[in-house]
A = this chain, B = another copy of it.
Amino acid sequence: MIERQETNKRMSKIVKHNGTVYLCGQVGNRGDNMTEQTTECLRRIDELLAQAGSNKEQILQAIVWVADMNEFQQMNEVWDAWVPEGHAPARACGEAKLASPELKVEIIITAAYNA
C-alpha cells in the first residue's frame, strides 16, 4: 500500500501511496551558485520522478525554500525554464536557512504517478 524507494534510517527519497508520490527535500551541490544549485536540484527531481514512475508534468505541489530571498530571481529563472508549459504545479516560496550554510535552495515535491 505504501511503496518506499531509496530508504535509509533517516528518510526515503521516494514514498508512493494512493496515487501520490512524496519526494524528500532536494538540494543542489554545496559551493555552487544559486543558478547552478537550482539546476542540479531540478535535475535530481527529474531523476527521482522518473524512478517513481512520474515526471515533471505531474507535479501537484512544490514548496521552495531559498536561504536568501535576494537570490529569488536567480532561482525563478531556472525554475521557469524547467516547468513544462501548461503543467505548472501549485507553488509556495519562503526563506529558510538550510541544513548547511552553503545550501541555497531546497524544493519539496508532491506529484501524481502512473499507476
- Listed in ascending order, the chain A residues whose CB lies under 8 Å from chain B are 1-2, 4, 7-15, 17-20, 22-25, 58, 60-63, 65, 69, 72, 76, 79-80, 83, 85-99, 101, 106, 108, 110, 112
Contact = CB atoms under 8 A, between A and B. Distances in A.
A72 B99 contact: yes
Copies held by the complex: 3
Given A20-B18, A88-B7, A112-B2, A96 B99 contact: no
A4 B87 contact: yes
Contacts of A96: 65, 94-96
Nearest to A95: B97
Nearest to A61: B22
Given A10-B76, A18-B19, A69-B98, 4 more contacts: A8-B88, A10-B79, A15-B60, A17-B20
